[in-house]
Amino acid sequence: MTDLKIGVVGIPGKWSTEVLADEIEKRTGFRLVIDIEKVVADLSIPEVLYQDQCLCKLDGIIIKKISQDYSPQVLDRLEILRFVECCGVKIYSNPAEILRLVDRMSCTVSLAKANIPMPKTLITEDVSAAYDAVHRFGSVVLKPLFSTKARGMEVLDSSTDKKTLQKQLKAYKEKHGFLYIQQKVQLPGHDMGLVFLGGEYQGAYARIGDGSSWNTTIHSGGKYAAVYPPDDVIEMARKAQAQFDLAYTTVDVAETEDGYICFEVSAFGGFKGAQEGLEINMASRYTDYVINLLLKDRNGELDAVS
């Protein structure tokens, strides 16, 4: 046991949030699930309160989930946590790094700069350019800049008549602003999530679609299973996540006719894929990782977790 006070920013009642809080409580006797919507930041004192707990007096915070859905509002919530970090509280993962990931465009640009293989992508506000891209790519997926689990994504095809296709693109732009267009790739019925903790590879699970949707997400009926990617794919995923200073993440990878590609690096990383697909309790591993870092920072040496 340790006397560290570690809070979990997440969704109260949700499995991934609660299982992480459970693991922390086992090791510290302290439990605090923080609903970020109810946090009050008074920068004049300064003080950041959740209920009766001042977050600036915690030893650490793990960000498990910042919102049910991604939106620009998430950025403001992360800014509050950046302020808590300035008070000396260690936060995992770094809020500034998460800021670079919740916006799909920022994540894509970072991966492209690192030459990580991705689907052909075009980002524009010009409907005419978007129309040309659909015809060049054949079949595409329109993606919101802020979304998770394929929510808000739409599939368009170049075989659609010009008037209808232009109408679809204009409607999407009116709703989402930017037109983020990726070529729709043919998947072998599954894609993979490669799990990393502190930059170290932990294992991989597959999301296997049930055939009812174009995507393989669990939200759309997929299921988890163990998978064993080749070494070069693991290294590609390692390089992708290394573009961001994250304590814990999963990298979404898929095999295509032209080789393996990376879809994205997760801002938070889930636990259920590793739990159900690999029978690995990543909430437990993550908790030990954070506690050891905090003890090392406190004592100047790595203490074993009892």
Q: What is the pLDDT of residue 110?
A: 95
Q: What's the average model confidence in pLDDT over 7-22?
A: 97
Rounded to whole angstroms, how far apart are CA atoms 268 and 198? Answer: 13
* More confident of the two residues 87 and 219: 87
Other residues' Cβ atoms within 10 Å of the Cβ of residue 23: 23
Q: Is the pLDDT of residue 220 over 70?
A: no
Give the type of residue at 219: H
CATH for 104-113+186-267? 3.30.470.20
Rounded to whole angstroms, how far apart are CA atoms 54 and 208? Answer: 43
Q: Is the pLDDT of residue 306 over 50?
A: no
Residues whose CB falls within 8 Å of the CB of residue 284, separated by 6 or more in sequence, listed in order: 23
CATH for 121-183? 3.30.1490.20
pLDDT confidence bin for 300, thresholds 50/70/90: confident
Q: Where are the domains of the chain?
A: 6-93+284-299, 104-113+186-267, 121-183
Q: Is there a shared CATH topology between the 6-93+284-299 domain and the 104-113+186-267 domain?
A: no
Q: What is the pLDDT of residue 217?
A: 54
Q: What's the average model confidence in pLDDT over 250-265?
A: 93
CATH for 6-93+284-299? 3.40.50.20
Q: Is the pLDDT of residue 219 over 80?
A: no
Nearest to 15 by CA among 286, 275, 298, 296: 275
Rounded to whole angstroms, how far apart are CA atoms 135 and 35? Answer: 45
Rounded to whole angstroms, how far apart are CA atoms 139 and 157? Answer: 4
CA distances from 89 to 1, 8, 78, 125, 278 (A): 20, 13, 14, 40, 32
pLDDT confidence bin for 33, thresholds 50/70/90: very high
